[in-house]
């Protein structure tokens, strides 16, 4: 307001100066009047200006108050927005943690689903593998699809789990379903499978092929192993009608597979190769020698104490013919020894002892003849088996050089020859060693019995009569 007043005075003074230039020499009154007029005009203008200011001040004050209130409202809203943002950031952190946790759970579930699918695929019976092959393929494709959402992946995996649960429900009490399998002759036939627990059974449409289902190496289809004839009718009625007696294999097919690996004796021997010929020949000769020698030794009769008393009593009574006849009644080398002793009973005892010892010396080679061959067979058979092992391993390495180690069937011939020859070498050697020990002990028993008989005969003879000439060039005693 002071500025406006000063402005009005300045304008009045300027107007007065301008009028003073127009006139000649203004007077003091003129100047005072002009000043008063200018003052009044300035005051009027100032009053008008004040009124205008008063008129405009209130709306401006109201507008200023409104703007200040608006600023306060906006500031409060900003504070609320900042607090809401802080809360939202906290909630966002929580949500991120939950999302991370759910992502980890999803990955864990995908891993569990994958492990479950792979485990089921490896443990699923071969009879059911073709039935669930498509479901397994879809589950694997869903798990590996890069453009599939996690929710869709889990949905498909859950659908696969639901399918497997339906399989378990259907398997309660046994489940029958159509399919195809390889017959024992290697022909693909269609029929009906019966899945009962871990056991799988098959019956062809014409009923000609039936048995336990098993999985064989390098065979994509289930193979049928026929059951014994006593169980075929029960299995056929069970699969065809759905009820009946079930032939259960506690080994889950392992017994049949083991039975299938057992070859007939002729085939087993043939797998041993050419070395089997001398091994078997050696065993046959050893068995023949033992049989012959055992019968020979068994026929040797041992003189009893009754026989000796009868012979000695006849000699003491002077009945040499009776004593010789009783000695000849004992067959074998013991009788021959006693006959020679009776024929020289009047000779000195030293001479009779030499005669009997000579008979024993002649008997020993006959009894021990061919017995060492058994020991030879026991020693040579393992060596022949080792020879077959070496040749078999050489053939195996030759096969590996040509065909590699991919197909085990190419190596089976050499390995069979390597092991079978060792097996039969020991089969021949061990009995041969035992038979040699038995036969040797029997021969030694016969010779010991002859020595005992000779000693008893010498001790039972009466003294040599006086005047009897001593034997010429007597041999040393070996009794």
- Residue 248's nearest CA partner among 276, 220, 264, 227 is 227
pLDDT of residue 430: 92
246 and 305, same structural domain? no
User: DSSP alpha helices (H): ranges in 221-348?
Assistant: 229-241, 254-261, 265-270, 276-298, 305-316, 320-328, 333-343
Q: Decide if 131 is inside a domain.
A: no
Which of 53, 69, 103 is the endpoint of a domain?
103
Taken as a whole, the chain contains a residue count of 479
**Is 112 within the bounds of a domain?**
no
This prediction has a pTM of: 0.50
Q: Answer yes or no: is 127 within a domain.
A: no
* Statement to judge: residues 310 and 437 lie in one domain: yes
Q: Are residues 242 and 343 in the same domain?
A: no
Q: Which two tokens stand for residue 150?
A: 């996690």
Residue with tokens 């695929």: 121
Answer yes or no: do 235 and 284 share one domain. no
Which pLDDT tens digit goes with each residue over 429-452?
Answer: 999 999 988 988 888 887 787 777
Looking at the structure, tell me whether residues 396 and 311 fall in a common domain. yes
* DSSP structure class, residue 472: S
373: Cβ contacts below 8 Å, ≥ 6 apart: 285, 286, 289
Please say which residue of 71, 103, 135 terminates a domain.
Answer: 103
* pLDDT value, residue 473: 35
Q: How many domains does the chain have?
A: 3
What's the pLDDT at 288?
92
Residue 142 covered by a domain: no
Do both 250 and 389 map to the same domain? no
Domain residue limits at 240:
171-261
Does residue 134 belong to any structural domain of this protein?
Answer: no
**Contact yes or no for 176/239 (Cβ under 8 A):** yes
For residue 298, what pLDDT is reported? 79
Q: Which of 232, 261, 290 is the last residue of a domain?
A: 261
267 part of a folded domain: no
Whether residue 234 is contained in a domain is answered as yes
With a cut of 50, list the residues of the chain below it in pLDDT. Answer: 22, 24, 465-479
* Domain-located, residue 233: yes
């Amino acid at each position: 307001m002071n500025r406006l007043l000063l402005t009005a005075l300045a304008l009045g003074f300027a107007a007065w100066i301008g009028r003073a230039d127009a006139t000649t020499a203004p007077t003091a009154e003129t100047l005072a009047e002009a000043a008063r007029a200018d003052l009044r005009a300035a005051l009027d203008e100032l009053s008008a200006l004040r009124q205008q200011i008063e008129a405009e001040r209130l709306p401006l004050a109201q507008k200023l108050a409104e703007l200040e209130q608006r600023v306060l409202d906006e500031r409060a809203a900003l504070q609320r927005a900042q607090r809401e943002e802080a809360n939202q950031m906290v909630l966002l952190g929580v949500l991120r943690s939950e999302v991370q946790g759910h992502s980890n759970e999803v990955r864990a579930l995908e891993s569990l689903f994958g492990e479950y699918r792979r485990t089921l695929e490896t443990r699923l019976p071969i009879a059911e593998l073709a039935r669930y092959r498509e479901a397994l393929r879809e589950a694997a494709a869903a798990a590996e699809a890069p453009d599939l959402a996690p929710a869709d992946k889990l949905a498909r995996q859950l659908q696969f789990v639901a399918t497997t649960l339906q399989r378990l429900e259907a398997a309660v009490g046994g489940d029958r379903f159509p399919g195809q399998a390889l017959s024992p002759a290697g022909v693909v036939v269609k029929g009906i499978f019966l899945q009962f627990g871990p056991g799988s059974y098959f019956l062809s449409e014409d009923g000609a092929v039936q048995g336990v289902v098993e999985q064989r190496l390098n065979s994509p289809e289930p193979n049928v192993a026929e059951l014994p004839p006593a169980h075929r009718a029960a299995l056929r009625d069970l699969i065809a009608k759905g009820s009946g007696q079930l032939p259960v294999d506690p080994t889950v097919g392992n017994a049949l597979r083991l039975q299938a690996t057992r070859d007939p004796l002729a085939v087993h021997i043939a797998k041993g190769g050419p070395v089997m010929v001398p091994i078997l020949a050696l065993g046959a000769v050893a068995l023949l020698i033992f049989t012959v020698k055992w019968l020979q030794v068994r026929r040797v009769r041992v003189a009893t104490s009754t026989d000796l008393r009868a012979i000695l009593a006849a000699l003491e009574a002077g009945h040499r013919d009776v004593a010789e006849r009783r000695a000849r009644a004992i067959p074998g080398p013991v009788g021959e020894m006693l006959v020679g002793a009776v024929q020289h009973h009047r000779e000195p005892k030293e001479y009779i002892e030499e005669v009997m010892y000579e008979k024993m010396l002649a008997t020993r080679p006959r009894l021990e003849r061919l017995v060492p061959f058994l020991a030879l067979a026991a020693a040579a058979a393992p060596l022949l088996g080792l020879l077959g092992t070496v040749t078999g391993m050489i053939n195996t390495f030759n096969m590996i050089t040509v065909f590699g180690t991919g197909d085990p069937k190419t190596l089976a011939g050499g390995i069979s020859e390597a092991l079978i020859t060792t097996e039969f070498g020991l089969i021949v050697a061990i009995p041969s060693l035992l038979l040699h020990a038995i036969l040797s002990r029997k021969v030694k028993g016969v010779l010991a019995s002859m020595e005992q008989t000779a000693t008893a005969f010498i001790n039972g003879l009466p003294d040599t009569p006086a005047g009897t000439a001593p034997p010429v060039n007597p041999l040393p005693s070996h009794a």
